Amino acid sequence: MKLVFLGPPGAGKGTQAKLLADAAKLAHISTGDMLREAVASGSSLGSKVKSIMDAGELVSDNLIVDLIKDRTSHADCAGGYILDGFPRTVAQAEALQQMLKQAGQELDKVVFFSVSEEALKARLENRRTVEGRSDDNVQTQLERLKVYSEKTAPLIDWYRSCGALVSLDATGSIEEVQQELRKIVDT
């Protein structure tokens, strides 16, 4: 099974992806985690993307698409995967579609995490104060929300028109949302 998790920063995609990936034996591919690891390890990729991530901007489509092409070719992806944080632009979605087509594959579902603005703000504040991620200061979070509306939100209609989009109400507790998610992937 191949899934894409789509939604604003703070919608809970990463938390839900981890739980579902463990339960359904899927690889969890988070481009944000991969890039943060590159920054932490001090690799050349890390030094290239650090300032972009700290500013809340998107790294280049080519770089991310190459990262995904490589990651999805690993053995742990043979049984399926969850893409969390990719694609984030129409160009990335087109590249993904092309990549899958060439391999004679397709996405099973694109799950859109729908969440109210108040819940989103509360979650982002919690993440800032409790988790302390380096790209989670107020300024960066606001920029990431803006970038999401401008560049990523158009993917909702893009995938809806492909018929692959399923909406998930992501406002409940972690357990409630996971339960709803399981229903979606089981049907």
Kindly indicate which of the ranges 21-29, 86-94, 101-109, 166-174 contains the residues binding ligand AMP, using the contact rule CB under 6 A: 86-94
Q: At closest approach, how far in Å is the CB of 3 from ligand AMP?
A: 15
Backbone angles phi, psi at 98, to 5 degrees: -65, -45
Q: With respect to ligand AMP, which residue has the nearer C-beta, 35 or 111?
A: 35
Report whether 90 contacts 154 (CB < 8 A).
yes
Report whether 81 contacts 2 (CB < 8 A).
yes
Does residue 36 carry a catalytic annotation?
no
Q: Does residue 115 bind ligand AMP (CB under 6 A)? A: no
Distance, in Å, from the CA atom of 173 to the CA atom of 50, rounded to the nearest integer, reads 32
Q: Does residue 86 bind ligand AMP (CB under 6 A)? A: yes
Does residue 160 carry a catalytic annotation?
no
The single-letter DSSP state of residue 162 is H
The single-letter code of the amino acid at 163 is G
Q: At closest approach, how far in Å is the CB of 134 from ligand AMP?
A: 10
35-74 mask for ligand AMP (x: CB under 6 A)? x----------------xx--xxxx----x----------
Q: Does residue 9 bind ligand AMP (CB under 6 A)? A: yes
The single-letter DSSP state of residue 39 is H
* Contacts (CB under 6 A) with ligand AMP, residues 90-109: 92
The single-letter DSSP state of residue 12 is S
Of 14, 20, 11, 5, the C-alpha closest to 178 is 20
**Among all residues, which ones are annotated catalytic?**
13, 88, 127, 133, 144
